Amino acid sequence: MAKIARLGDATSQGGSVLEGDGNITHGGKPVARVGMKASCPKCKKGQGPIVPVAPRTVSLPGGPVALAGDQVACGCPPGSHVLVPAQGDTQAAG
């Protein structure tokens, strides 16, 4: 089980999740979905969509939930830029 990503959560390259679904919140923050954007201060592209690293069993009406370890498809080498949500014990099955 992995932590659910939300608007403002950190990434491994010092960026953050830029988008969230305002209709679905957790801990007062909008939940991020696969395909939403995260920033990247390390590459020239500056941001990229969130892409899943495994199949999802948790999905919102607008698409699958983004989870810890999902990648940001920016200009960084593949697999080097991932989501690192900070909230406590909230987890979802991948």
- In tens, the pLDDT along 14-70 reads 999 999 999 999 889 999 999 999 999 999 899 999 999 999 887 778 889 999 999
- For domain 1-94, the question of CATH label 2.60.200.60 is answered with yes
What local confidence, expressed as pLDDT, does residue 60 receive? 77
Nearest alpha carbon to residue 55 among 9, 92, 5: 92
The token pair that represents 56 in the structure block: 């999802």
What local confidence, expressed as pLDDT, does residue 56 receive? 84
Classify residue 32 by its DSSP letter: P
What local confidence, expressed as pLDDT, does residue 30 receive? 96
- Tell me the pTM: 0.88
What local confidence, expressed as pLDDT, does residue 9 receive? 97
CA distance 94 to 46: 27
- Is 3 in contact with 90 (CB distance < 8 Å)? yes
Please determine, for residue 79, whether its predicted confidence score (pLDDT) is greater than 60. yes
